[in-house]
Amino acid sequence: MAMKYLLFGQFLQKQGLVTAEDVYKARMLQKNHNMKIGELAREKGWLTYEDIDKILVIHEETLEKFGDIAIEHNFLTREQVNELVGYQQEEYLFFGEALIKLGMITQGQLFENLKEFNKLTFNKQP
């Protein structure tokens, strides 16, 4: 039977490989590393804090993507958004990578447990 809604961090905790504190630390590393488009655009000087706030207000009302709103309202060009999204994809730190970076698990442990997690989550047969 598939284990729906079980997160990988919870799975690793059940396996006894990490603690809840380890999961928290890895998630915080991800949060601090994986910048949002608005933050990246501000760092490049393309948006101000006020611009970001305006876009976020529209986002809350429409649930459209940040980049689409920025383009539609002439805060950013399509090329700028594409550059920011490309950077995000290249630099994204996954949860398992964060655990390795923090020395909580090894790469071998990550791969073995991801395989097992995927079998359970997606009900795959070995």
Q: In this structure, are residues 73 and 58 in contact, taking their beta carbons and an 8 Å threshold?
A: yes
pTM exceeding the 0.85 threshold for the entire prediction: no
CA nearest to 66, candidates 80, 30, 94: 80
Per residue in 37-68, pLDDT (tens digit) is 999 999 999 999 999 999 999 999 999 999 99
Average pLDDT of the chain to the nearest whole number = 92
CA nearest to 22, candidates 85, 92, 84, 109: 109
| Cα(98)–Cα(23) distance, integer angstroms | 9
Tokens of 108: 């071998």
- At 6, is the pLDDT very low, low, confident or very high (cuts 50, 70, 90)? low
For the chain, which residues make up each domain, given as ranges?
A: 1-33+96-126, 35-92
Tokens of 24: 């928290």
- Whole-number Cα distances in Å, 77 to 41, 56, 96: 11, 17, 34
Helices of type H across the chain: 8-14, 20-33, 37-43, 49-62, 66-72, 78-91, 95-101, 107-122
Residue 24 Cα to chain centre, angstroms = 14
Tokens of 80: 């700028």
